[in-house]
Amino acid sequence: MLDIQLCAAAVLGDTLSGGNLSTAFEEGFRRHPSLSPGERAAVREICYEGLRSLGLLEAQLGKLLLTPVRHAGLRSLLLVGLAQLQFTRAKPYAIVDHAVRAAERLGQPAARGLVNAVLRNFLRRQRDLGRDAWTTPEARHGFPAWWLGRLREQYPGEWEAVVAAQNRHPPMTLRVNRRRTTVAACLERLAQAGIEARWLGEAAVRIDPRPVSEVPGFAEGMVSVQDAGAQWAARLLDVADGQRILDACAAPGGKTGHLLEVAEADVVALDNDSARLGRVRENLDRLGLRAALSCGDAADPPSWWDGRPFQRILLDAPCSASGVARRQPDVRWNRRPSDLAKFAARQGELLDGVWQVLESSGKLLYATCSVFRDENESTVEAFLARHPDARAVAFPSGSPEGGRLRPDDDHDGFFYALLEKR
């Protein structure tokens, strides 16, 4: 457990200093190469739960300390210990004992008594320091006050349900590759493997989370892992065989693969990161599908466009990731209100860029995994005001109302808008 705590503290510390959680995991596991797969999973559990409940942990630590802890690594270790005591099944005495030893490994032997006192004091006062004891929004809801204020404003009757969904474990959803198999066959194969599954509609099948290596048919390209909300993109773009389709901001390629599963089309997968384009190719190879890969900035067509217009364009724009905060719990603490305007400006640039390569009467699907209006309706309204040759197209019956998918037990939060070039 000692290395688990040290690794988790390092990951948490790197993330809270503004780093990306995925990158922090990679660096943490590089520093602790002896961790087994099970121990790495434990590190992930501690960090995910710790970040979802960071407001609570920090409030508890503030009550348990007489003076602030200035050593960043030691403070992260205390947060890890509090997270373990509340959100894992590890024995409390083992958590405390190993945390005391971990303090020495951090070069803080004088803090052994402090770590022991703080964690044991929490165990004595746990009932009085639980989530229900706090009135601050960060401690009660696990999100910054500004974030919660935006949700209250935009979802006045539903914001608490949105927050609750974002604090639960995310679902694991498969997308059945209907070029290779059927939903019925997939469900049967899962049942034979002893995996409970639930069909969510179209090609989406939900199962209990597990490594992809344990998912029947994944390696053979029969299924992919893709949130049910993300699977709406290929359905809403209204694609057909023979069309030329641009998947802008394509990496890591989940939506690219889905487009090719839906239609026999000429797809160009564009991304401005050559390394991430490699992941697109890996995903397509696993699925047995082919697309033209192009590296370039979607906002600057002259740098990559060959002059042939597209009948359909999918723009899955970079955003705050506020709709997937349960999968990326670091974003709730590392985002700032001013970031939304920056994302909206970039989204506008991307829309203006790809609009140039869309043929007349063609359609563009704008998509984000954000729940904030700044990046969604406001961005689309501003685009329509700049482009009189654009009009918003209503989605068919049964589609997400207003293009919005609020996070719930079955899917993350997404926004979609379909635009037609007149």
- Token pair, residue 139, equals 């401690």
Judge whether 369 counts as a catalytic residue: yes
Which residue is catalytic, options 186, 249, 319, 369?
Answer: 369
- Token pair, residue 128, equals 């009085």
pLDDT in tens, the chain (422 residues): 999 999 999 999 999 999 999 999 999 999 999 999 999 999 999 999 999 999 999 999 999 999 999 999 999 999 999 999 999 999 999 999 999 999 999 999 999 999 999 999 999 999 899 988 899 999 999 999 999 999 999 999 999 999 999 999 999 999 999 999 999 999 999 999 999 999 999 999 999 999 999 999 999 999 999 999 999 999 999 999 999 999 999 999 999 999 999 999 999 999 999 999 999 999 999 999 999 999 999 999 999 999 999 999 999 999 999 999 999 999 999 999 999 999 999 999 999 999 999 999 999 999 999 999 999 999 999 999 999 999 999 999 999 999 999 999 999 999 999 999 99
Helix 377-386 with 337-355: angle, nearest 10 deg:
40
Q: What share of the chain is helix, strand, coil (3-state, %, to 5)?
A: 50, 15, 35
pTM above 0.85, yes or no: yes
Where do the DSSP E strands lie in 94-187?
Answer: 172-176
SS (HEC) of 336-379: CHHHHHHHHHHHHHHHHHHHCCEEEEEEEEEEECCCCHHHCHHH
φ, ψ of residue 415 in degrees (nearest 5): -135, 140
CB neighbour class for 327 (10 Å; exposed up to 12, middle 13-18, buried from 19): middle
> What pLDDT score does 132 carry?
87
Which contiguous run of DSSP H or E holds residue 26? helix 21-31
Q: How far apart are CA 157 and CA 151, in angstroms?
A: 10
Nearest CA-CA partner of 414 in 289, 169, 230: 230
158-178 burial: b if 16+ Cβ within 10 Å, else e: ebeebbebbbeebbebbbbbe
**Domains of the chain, residue spans:** 2-136, 172-225, 232-421
Dihedral in degrees, nearest 10, Cα atoms 45, 47, 50, 53? -80
Residues in the chain: 422
Contact criterion met (CB below 8 Å) for 197 and 206 = yes
CATH fold label, 172-225: Alpha-Beta Plaits (3.30.70)
Angle at 323 between CA 280 and CA 380, to 5 degrees: 85
> What pLDDT score does 58 carry?
96
In CATH, 2-136 is 1.10.940.10: yes
Contact criterion met (CB below 8 Å) for 88 and 42 = yes
Where do the DSSP E strands lie in 118-262?
Answer: 172-176, 197-201, 204-207, 223-225, 244-248
CATH, domain range 232-421: 3.40.50.150
